[in-house]
Amino acid sequence: MTVEAKTGIAIITYNRPDHLRQCLESVLEFTQAYPHAQVAVFDDCSDYDIDNTVQNRCPVKKSSSNLGAVSTKNRALFYFAKTIKTRTIILLEDDMIVTSKQWLPTWEKACKIHGHINYTAPWFFSKKLKQYFQGGSGSPKDPHRFAIVTGQCSAVKRSLVRNTVGYLNPRFKGYGFAHVEWTDRLISLGHGGKVVPGRKTYFSINEGIAPLQSESLKDPNELRANHQTFKAITSDPSQQFISRPWLNRMERSVFLHDQEDAVSTPSATS
């Protein structure tokens, strides 16, 4: 009997086969005890044979061109929100590995309580960044509270994607600011953090996952452009709900084509 997928785990990847292999193997190892979860890989048009790396261990959703992390994460949200219709969606970047079988129930519980939860990166506690720490033990009921956020792993309720906040804003292209703006929209409505005058607080946990050593994907030109986009978007309070993960008909056509053309094989955890 096929178990209904209640949690979707999306591995976001681009041109890092070694990272993807380690990430996927760890996810499958520590998620196999949870048949209600489905794992899928979302690839941003890598230039190597990703099917050889994944080896039919889970579905692979490929993009037809390199469109960046925003589009890739939106395809994952769309897939698990509208196609598979899971209750919880976890976005996991390929430079992360799972280290404990407790990771999934902990992340699911935190997401159920708060609607949205982010990852506490170990460097958040460094001397340079400790000023941003605002408290919390890191448990689902008492998550860490920081004035900074990273998008390496996050979880969100499907209902928030479908009805309340929607997708990452497709106006962002390339690296930087898109995850921050998405999370800001969520916490402004009371999910995964708090907003008080002059300060934002992001809820995060670090149960059962750890980062791999990897090179930064920062591009100064993309950061500058996305910073301008971020300022323009956040100055418009009407942008609370992004109902479509595309900007125009051409982007819509490409997006939906990539959804339909993706390889779909049985998940190792379903």
Q: Are the beta carbons of 119 and 153 closer than 8 angstroms? A: yes
| CA–CA separation, 239 and 35 (whole Å) | 37
Q: In the predicted model, is pLDDT for residue 28 greater than 80?
A: yes
Residue 261 — very low, low, confident or very high, per pLDDT cuts 50/70/90? low
CA–CA distance from 238 to each of 156, 195, 202 (Å)?
A: 21, 17, 22
| CA–CA separation, 90 and 153 (whole Å) | 7
| Proportion of the chain above pLDDT 90, given as a percent | 81
Residue 263: per-residue pLDDT: 41
83-103 average pLDDT score: 97
Residue 260: per-residue pLDDT: 75
Q: What is the pLDDT of residues 143-181, one digit of tens each?
A: 999 999 999 999 999 999 999 999 999 999 888 899 999
| Proportion of the chain above pLDDT 70, given as a percent | 93
Q: In the predicted model, is pLDDT for residue 89 greater than 60?
A: yes
Q: What is the pLDDT of residues 34-82, one digit of tens each?
A: 999 999 999 999 999 999 999 999 999 999 999 899 999 999 999 999 9
195-212 average pLDDT score: 94
Q: Which residue reads 């907003």 in tokens?
A: 195
108-125 average pLDDT score: 98
| CA–CA separation, 172 and 145 (whole Å) | 26
Q: In the predicted model, is pLDDT for residue 2 greater than 70?
A: no
Which carries the bigger pLDDT value, residue 216 or residue 225?
Answer: 225
| Per-residue 3-state assignment (H helix, E strand, C coil) for 93-144 | ECCEEECCCCHHHHHHHHHHHHCEEEECCHHHHCCCCHHHEEECCCCCCCCE
Residue 3: per-residue pLDDT: 63
Q: In the predicted model, is pLDDT for residue 1 greater than 70?
A: no
| CA–CA separation, 93 and 73 (whole Å) | 9
Q: In the 8-state DSSP scheme, what is residue 41?
A: E
Domains in the chain: ranges and CATH: 7-165+203-216+248-261 (3.90.550.10)
211-215 average pLDDT score: 86
Q: In the predicted model, is pLDDT for residue 267 greater than 50?
A: no
pTM: 0.93
9-24 average pLDDT score: 97
Q: Which residue reads 């698990």 in tokens?
A: 80
Residue 14 — very low, low, confident or very high, per pLDDT cuts 50/70/90? very high
Q: What is the pLDDT of residues 235-246, one digit of tens each?
A: 876 667 899 999
Q: At what angle do helices 69-78 and 178-188 cross, to 10 degrees?
A: 40
> What phi, psi does 100 have (nearest 5°)?
-150, 145
| CA–CA separation, 13 and 21 (whole Å) | 10
Residue 217: per-residue pLDDT: 66
Maximum distance among all Cα pairs of the chain, rounded to whole angstroms: 52
Q: In the predicted model, is pLDDT for residue 136 greater than 70?
A: yes
